[in-house]
Chain A
Amino acid sequence: MKIDITTPITREKARSLKAGDIVSITGVIYTARDAAHKRMLENLQNGIPLPVDLTDNTIYFAGPAPAKPGEPIGSVGPTTSYRMDAYSPKTIELGLTCMIGKGARSSAVIDAMKKYGAVYIGAVGGAGALLSECVKKCEVVAYEDLGSEAIHRLEVENFPGIVIIDSEGNNLYDTEPPKYRK
């Protein structure tokens, strides 16, 4: 069964999602990857506020390809999430409730997801052209000098994903492959 989600996602709504749920996301999400996370958290340590209030927000670990004329965005699939493991416990503590990416997460991230109530959704890695069709509007809201790694505000419609790790720590990467191991 497909679950329609509209952002922002409250802690309660994040907690209601379970590993294995097929979801379809509509609303505003923000891209951020390696360089943007590093800058956000370094700035925070120096007393500079975040460019986006993370409360109940969704970060999509992604750096889009450039938009062709007349299109809102270029190909935009997920990047590998473990590179943000150093930063995600802090962003979750600051209010982030949903991360979209691909690949494994650290126990520290999962602990933060359980403690505060956040969910990790997988999008299909390498399906960047297809996923870009769900993006209706895109604008850079911070760190423009980082190019593709800038923070982009995306308005998405029916963006497809699957809940990989839920706020209880259930993890499809742990539970599913053993079923097919021979």
Chain B
Amino acid sequence: MREIDVALVRDAVKEMCIKANCCLNADVYGAIKKAQAEECSDVGKNILSQLIENADLAAAKMKPICQDTGMAVVFMDIGQDVHFTGGSLSDAVNEGVRLGYKEGYLRKSVVSDPLLRVNTGDNTPAVIHYNIAEGDKVHIEIAPKGFGSENMSRIYMLKPSDGVEGVKNAVLDCIEKAGPNPCPPMIVGVGIGGNFELCAELAKRALLRPVGSHSDKEHIRQIEDELLERANRLGIGPQGLGGNTTVLGLNIETYATHIAGLPLAVNISCHVTRHSECTV
């Protein structure tokens, strides 16, 4: 049994909130640069240049890349041989978010109740996913997610008879309906299988994978490649003003499902898909 003081988790979460919001990850940055070189629309090319300039400026000044610094989504894989000390783990995560958003001059975008809508003033609470793993370490991934793109996400409870074509059509339909709203070029996370809530979590987890990575399942990898290529033929383009850069990356995660179902979730993300991780 290894003891870990929750203060270590708090400090790690704080640092990751700031870093994820100010420093665009190399995979996304590289994908925007590549797209800028290959974009056929002049307006689109210019927009992509501005996104590169914006990312450079944000990192240099440690300013948020986008003013929507998101709701903090925290994924924690906790080794089963770990014992946390020093207080509540969830409180420590939220304290890390609170400190990160304050000290990083990040926007406080969370309301305490979805209907009463009073801002909590410190961007808490976070959305926290705990997972028990083997070993005595804690792996923390943080993915602050803006809502311009989150609002464009969908769940489809497809039938087994809809099959792979039904999945492909639904993903492309979701991207097309999102159009200019989620700040294209988008990054798309797809979850297939599980049940109603797990497919949504799979879609979110798919966004944690780097742009350009692939599923290790061959049949899924083929769908990723095909959908990316077809999405970029929709014409939506940077900011929805036309072009061949609509989706920078499309990742799919899958899980077993029920004989009666084919759950599908599409989590749309923007070109500021934020992600930071560490192991404690």
A residues within 8 Å of B by Cβ?
35, 62-68, 74-77, 79-80, 82, 102-104, 122, 124-130, 132-133, 146-149, 162, 164, 172-173, 176-182
Cβ–Cβ contact A182 & B235, under 8 A: yes
Between A and B, how many residue pairs show CB distances below 8 Å? 156
B224-280 interface (Cβ within 8 A of A):
233-237, 239-244, 270-272
Cβ–Cβ contact B67 & A64, under 8 A: yes
A146 and B270 CA atoms in complex are apart in Å by: 25
Cβ–Cβ contact B241 & A65, under 8 A: no
Cβ–Cβ contact A63 & B107, under 8 A: yes
A63 and B181 CA atoms in complex are apart in Å by: 16
* Given A104-B179, A125-B183: A180 in contact with B109 (beta carbons within 8 A): no
* Given A103-B181, A124-B47, A180-B41: A129 in contact with B239 (beta carbons within 8 A): no
Which of chain A's residues have a CB closer than 8 A to the CB of B55? 129
Task: Return the contact of B54 from the options A127, A164, A176 (Cβ within 8 A).
Answer: A127
Task: Return the contact of B43 from the options A66, A79, A104, A162 (Cβ within 8 A).
Answer: A162
Cβ–Cβ contact B66 & A77, under 8 A: yes
Chain B residues touching A, majority SS: loop
* Interface core residue of A76, A104, A128, A129 (most chain B CB under 10 Å): A129
Cβ–Cβ contact A129 & B63, under 8 A: yes
Cβ–Cβ contact A129 & B51, under 8 A: no
Which of chain A's residues have a CB closer than 8 A to the CB of B58? 75, 129
Cβ–Cβ contact B65 & A126, under 8 A: yes
**B120's closest neighbor in chain A, by CB?**
A147
Cβ–Cβ contact B107 & A148, under 8 A: yes
A176 and B119 CA atoms in complex are apart in Å by: 38
Cβ–Cβ contact A173 & B57, under 8 A: no
Cβ–Cβ contact B107 & A179, under 8 A: no
A122 and B50 CA atoms in complex are apart in Å by: 14
Q: How far is the CB of A182 from chain B (nearest CB, A)?
A: 4
A179 and B105 CA atoms in complex are apart in Å by: 41
